[in-house]
Amino acid sequence: MRFVPPGPEDPYYEIGVFESGRVATRPESLHDWFNALAWLAFPLTKARINALHARELPRETKGRRGPLRDLLTIFDEGGAIVVCSDEDLLSLLAKASWRALFLENRERVLGAMRIVVFGHAVQEQAVEPRPGITCKAMVLPEGDLDSGAARWLADVPAGTSPKALLPVPIFGYPGWYPGQDPAFYEDKRYFRP
């Protein structure tokens, strides 16, 4: 992979990366900088996302993204990896029981659940943290997260939609944002059931 300034006649972004290994990166763009960091930290996962985009693009009609490309884009921009093997905590996550998960089980979450932000748009937003920042996440066990995420994406059937990813309001993770009292977790604008 090489990070290069965008050219005036670059092909569609995903195709250009797939065919040349050149990632168009605007030097003044924080968004592109976080994308480059994601390529460096998760090269297998980013390559899998890119290859799946390149595979799916010719199958689309009239420029409409299909459900798999929606999933890939959402994960690439706003994804996270939840690392956890505690089934009770994962059940609370799947049920969107935010108060029970992040407040009532705070110590268990801190000891048994890690959230690794993957999406470069979320990283950019986190420069100025605020309630409302939410990731869409896959759940993986401990281990090589890059290999695990790439494998998870490789195993996703073609028609899979973004609904396969779990919403995670990351600012609710214990200690991520100030003022995490009981009233904080009752704010339905951010902690949706």
pLDDT tens over the chain, length 193 residues: 899 988 877 667 888 899 888 898 999 999 999 999 999 999 999 999 999 999 998 887 777 888 999 999 999 999 999 999 999 999 999 999 999 999 999 999 999 999 999 999 999 999 998 888 999 999 999 999 999 999 999 999 988 999 999 999 999 999 988 899 999 999 999 999 8
Looking at the DSSP assignment, which residues form a beta bridge with residue 80? Answer: 117, 137
Q: Measured at the alpha carbon of residue 79, what is the angle toward residues 102 and 20, in degrees to the nearest 5?
A: 160
58 C-beta neighbours (distance < 10 Å), count: 7
Give pTM, 2 decimals: 0.93
Domain regions of the chain by residue span: 2-186
Q: With contact defined as beta carbons under 8 Å apart, do 135 and 172 qualify?
A: no
Residue length, the chain? 193
- Which residue type, as a one-letter code, is found at position 180? Q
